Amino acid sequence: MSSRLSTNFTNLEFVNPFVLASAPPTESKKKILRAFEAGWGGVVTKTIGLHPVENVAGPKTIFQRTSDVKPYVSRSKRPDTVPHSSWNWELISDQPLDMWLPDLKEIKAIYPDRMLIASIMAGAGNDEELDNWRKLAKSCVDVGCDAIELNMSCPHMDRKDMGANIANDEDVIRSILHAVTDAVSVPIWVKLTPATSTLVDAARAAYEAGAASISLCNTFPSLPLMDPETLKFEVEVDGWVTSGGLGGLAILPQALQRVSDISRAFPSESVSGIGGIRGFREAFNFIAHGAGNLQFCTAAMEEKGSGGVGVKLIKELTDDLEDFMKRKDYSSIEEFRGIARERIVEHSKVRRKSDNYNGGYVAAE
């Protein structure tokens, strides 16, 4: 693979900046091996925890589509539709840590040049849970994982001390980071929820406590749609539904804005961009806003015939990025990373039609 595409991100050498996100494409050894064979630069494993997991008794993920002809959003199969989003209420991995560890060791032995990042999650608020974070991190690093991603962003956790429920709490973020950085010395990525008005504060707490990077975004909290005729939700179990996570194209502009916020507030820190990336154009936009690494989920899951790991997708991504960089004479993504940053300004800084505008205009929302 071309050295033009290789990147150093959080002190790790990636053969290309494209990584499968923590989700079904990285839920098993078989899928991860297939992903590496196809050319992905790294994977973040499906989140590994210590608490027992049992998913709902129905589909865990649906893919919603829309169309120009009848532009409503639905999972129903209709002609002439295009992808809109994924919606899921899947929990973290149901494979126990003891079963993950030999798998991770084997994957790293087969693909030593690919980056293997373990996503982990435990609770918060007491020493026992902090020990759980330490145990998860140390076990994964001991079998060869190159980095750890802390999942502080799953949007559908009932436990108030887990997932997105803790992402607002700067003390909790700091305490978990201190526990994990005491236990291991690999780079720690922190995956935060986009569903907070205090994202920049949460990111600051994470960076100050030793995070090597922020991964943004996890899915946005959302509900599936109800059919007006049948009064059924598009996904439900016994008539019940709960808030789940929206991913895919529909979240792209919002995810870009979150990455831009973090990258402008902390221009010398690292960000891994996630959310609605289907190909080179979306990946380019994340890099332009400052991301040094890109993660993919829905687009890989939706690809037919490749076992949901994006075999065609990674080929297209690397070909298109290579072609772009050759045409523009870039030798590294660092040469165009962050080029959009300075063009994001306050509303009042944008030119008006009249010459005597004094900058005091207050926009009506």
- In sequence order, the 6+-apart residues with CB closer than 8 A to the CB of 318 are 1, 2, 5, 16, 18, 39
User: How many residues touch ligand FMN (CB under 6 A)?
Assistant: 29
Gap between the Cα atoms of 140 and 160, Å rounded: 25
Strand 270-274 relative to strand 213-216, pairing: parallel
Q: Nearest distance from residue 158's CB to ligand FMN, in Å?
A: 15
Give the CB-nearest residue to ligand FMN: 247
Gap between the Cα atoms of 270 and 87, Å rounded: 28
Q: Nearest distance from residue 259's CB to ligand FMN, in Å?
A: 12
**Radius of gyration, CA atoms only, the chain:** 21
Which residues does the annotation mark as catalytic? Answer: 154
Name the residue nearer to ligand FMN (CB basis): 137 or 274. Answer: 274
Nearest to residue 263, comparing CAs of 247, 280, 286? 286
State which of residues 10, 12, 17, 24 lies at the interface with ligand FMN (CB under 6 A). 24
Strand 18-20 relative to strand 12-14, pairing: unpaired
- Residue 140: asked if its preceding bond is cis (omega within 30°), the reply is no
Q: Nearest distance from residue 255's CB to ligand FMN, in Å?
A: 7
Q: Nearest distance from residue 170's CB to ligand FMN, in Å?
A: 20
Name the residue nearer to ligand FMN (CB basis): 154 or 180. Answer: 154
Nearest to residue 215, comparing CAs of 9, 5, 3? 9
Verify binding: residue 23, ligand FMN, rule CB under 6 A. yes
Verify binding: residue 214, ligand FMN, rule CB under 6 A. no
Q: Which of residues 70-89 bind ligand FMN (CB under 6 A)?
A: 86, 88
Q: Nearest distance from residue 48's CB to ligand FMN, in Å?
A: 9
State which of residues 199, 203, 274, 311 lies at the interface with ligand FMN (CB under 6 A). 274
Residue 131 in contact with residue 30, Cβ under 8 Å?
Answer: no
Gap between the Cα atoms of 343 and 333, Å rounded: 19
Convert residues 318-347 into a mask of x (bound to ligand FMN by CB under 6 A) and - (unbound).
Answer: ------------------------------
CA dihedral 119, 269, 293, 246 (to 10 degrees): 60
Convert residues 164-203 into a mask of x (bound to ligand FMN by CB under 6 A) and - (unbound).
Answer: ---------------------------x------------
| Site residues, ligand FMN (CB under 6 A) | 21-24, 46-47, 60-61, 86, 88, 90, 92, 119, 151, 154, 191, 218-219, 247-248, 251, 274-277, 296-299
